[in-house]
């Protein structure tokens, strides 16, 4: 027991043979974005870097592809610096990280914060269409079943992303494919479903040239996996997205109904006419 502990301790120490006087060895700061790391163009975004109380300066960097840019420095002394972007633009998307400096040197680099900006219509034909999200076979399933998400658009996005609300880190990404109908889509095979797979999903499209700029999100799609006590209370409306496509479905439904009613009317009319014609024939023959 003691031996194991000693070995672990030695191993741990040997992994971090660091001396606090060297540059870059103070503990890494924590980087965070408010209101979040997936934001809409035009929003105010605060990127905070939290180090130690004896920090004298904070530096913020942004990395896009392999290009690193010094974004801003803050000479605020103390535990935390907040870099405020008043109106976030599409070129502000990227990987952010920060450092702080004290009299004993530089801190280690913070983790990367991936900041994604959603936009709409940046130039003609680009980001003009939010994608649509659907699921097969249906959005209320039993545990153990697999489902397939389909994210699609008329716009030629390079890739699509499906995200479950509140779990941005576990997003699913797929390259898009052109269908024979000239639409662009990606299929996401998911399963087997468990009761914890229930949730609200949406998808986004993006272009490879700028993976940190996404389209507006699709309408929300709610998935329910039956079986857990919480989910047995079934609402009938879960499959219905909350917008236009829905009313469109109704219009189509109504058209079909009206068409059917018309058809029945025509058939009845024809039968009656035939009947009347046969009767008049009989009448004529009888009267002859
Ligand atoms: C960003 O910081 C400013 C000033 O500290 C504050 O007024 C604002 O509410 C913050 N915005 C967000 C989105 O946190
Ligand atoms: C679900 O998908 C997995 C692979 O991801 C497959 O092995 C399994 O057979 C599928 N189950 C059903 C019910 O189709
Ligand atoms: C009309 O009369 C013809 C011949 O008598 C018969 O074959 C046909 O089924 C009749 N049609 C109707 C609608 O009664």
Q: Whole-prediction pTM value?
A: 0.67
Q: What is the CATH number of the domain that holds 141?
A: 2.60.40.10
**Alpha carbon of 105 to those of 11, 20, 71, 156, 274: distances in Å?**
26, 8, 20, 49, 101
The answer to whether residue 20 is domain-embedded is: yes
**Alpha-carbon torsion (229, 235, 236, 240), positive or negative:** negative
Strands in 41-79 per DSSP E: 45-50, 57-64, 67-74
278 lines ligand 3 (CB under 6 A): yes
- Check whether residue 42 and residue 65 sit in a common domain: yes
- Check whether residue 92 and residue 149 sit in a common domain: no
Collapse the DSSP code of 46 into the 3-class scheme (helix H, G, I; strand E, B; otherwise coil) and give the result.
strand
Domain count, the chain: 2
Distance 138 CA to ligand 2 centre (A): 16
Compute and round to an integer the Cα radius of gyration of the chain.
Answer: 31
- Check whether residue 101 and residue 162 sit in a common domain: no
What pLDDT, on the 0 to 100 scale, is given for residue 69?
Answer: 81
**Candidate of 33, 44, 80 to mutate for ligand 1, largest count of ligand atoms within 8 Å of Cβ:** 44
pLDDT tens digits, one per residue of 114-133:
999 999 988 888 999 999 99
Domain that holds residue 223: 132-240
pLDDT tens digits, one per residue of 40-66:
999 999 999 999 999 999 999 999 877
**Alpha carbon of 56 to those of 25, 48, 79: distances in Å?**
16, 15, 9
275 lines ligand 3 (CB under 6 A): yes
pLDDT tens digits, one per residue of 150-192:
999 999 999 999 999 888 777 899 999 999 999 999 999 998 9
Is the distance from CB of 72 to CB of 83 less than 8 angstroms?
yes
What pLDDT, on the 0 to 100 scale, is given for residue 201?
Answer: 95
The answer to whether residue 268 is domain-embedded is: no
For residue 285, pLDDT over 70 is answered with: no
pLDDT tens digits, one per residue of 223-237:
999 875 454 444 444
Strands 177-178 and 221-225: unpaired
Distance 88 CA to ligand 1 centre (A): 13
Confidence of residue 283 (pLDDT cuts 50, 70, 90): very low
């Amino acid at each position: 027991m003691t031996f194991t502990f000693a070995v672990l301790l030695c191993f741990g120490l040997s992994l971090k043979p660091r001396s606090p006087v060297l540059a870059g060895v103070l503990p890494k700061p924590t980087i965070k974005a408010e209101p979040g790391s997936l934001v809409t163009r035009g929003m105010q975004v605060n990127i905070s870097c939290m180090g130690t109380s004896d920090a004298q300066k904070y530096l913020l960097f942004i990395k896009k592809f392999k290009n690193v840019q010094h974004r801003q420095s803050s000479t605020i002394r103390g535990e935390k610096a907040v870099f405020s972007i008043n109106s976030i633009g599409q070129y502000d998307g990227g990987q952010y990280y920060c450092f702080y400096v004290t009299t004993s040197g530089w801190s280690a680099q913070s983790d990367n914060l991936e900041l994604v900006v959603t936009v709409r219509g940046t130039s003609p034909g680009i980001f003009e269409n939010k994608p649509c999200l659907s699921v097969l076979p249906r959005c209320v399933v039993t545990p153990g079943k697999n489902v397939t998400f389909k994210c699609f658009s008329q716009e030629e996005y390079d890739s699509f992303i499906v995200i479950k609300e509140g779990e941005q880190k576990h997003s699913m990404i797929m390259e898009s494919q052109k269908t024979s109908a000239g639409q662009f889509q990606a299929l996401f095979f998911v399963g087997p479903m468990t009761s914890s797979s229930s949730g609200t999903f949406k998808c986004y499209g993006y272009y490879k040239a700028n993976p940190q700029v996404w389209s507006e999100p699709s309408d929300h799609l709610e998935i329910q996996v039956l079986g857990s006590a919480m989910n047995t209370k079934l609402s009938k409306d879960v499959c219905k997205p909350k917008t236009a496509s829905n009313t469109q479905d109704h219009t189509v439904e109504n058209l079909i109904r009206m068409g059917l009613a018309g058809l029945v009317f025509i058939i009845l009319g024809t039968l009656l006419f035939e009947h009347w014609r046969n009767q008049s024939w009989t009448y004529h023959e009888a009267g002859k």
